[in-house]
Amino acid sequence: MTDIIEQTRAILLTDPVVSGLVDARRIFPGRLDQGEEDPSIVLSVVSGSQGVTTDGGINHSENRLQVDCYATTYSKMEELFQAVRAILNGYSGGNTDGFFLEGVRDLFDTEAQLYRRSSDYMAWNREG
């Protein structure tokens, strides 16, 4: 399942708008390290499964990917989220058949003083 994180990171970094807002060192797998500053993106796999048939497995997986956009201001967080959504929602290419936005929620990290928009995408991938 870590492949989906690596693939998503690569997709985000190829987009000039996203890479203009956040550089490669600011896209993290799993969690935002303490003391990190904005803007940042965190990619996490929430769930995943591999397709199967009565004849056995197929080379297709479905993953729910959580993409969190962090920033010190709401407007920066919103701008980063909009750029991420523009490239990911409906994306297909390479081994990826499609990313589809499933849900969005706003949060605020009081300890780090960062705004956070957490979004879930379903990602359909061919494996192998």
The 10s digit of each residue's pLDDT in 1-10 is 458 899 999 9
CA distance 74 to 12: 21
As given in the structure block, the two tokens for residue 44 are 């996490």
Spacing of C-alpha 109 from chain mean position: 19
The 10s digit of each residue's pLDDT in 70-116 is 999 999 999 999 999 999 999 988 878 889 999 999 999 898 899 99
Which domains does the chain show, CATH number per domain? 2-126 (3.30.2000.10)
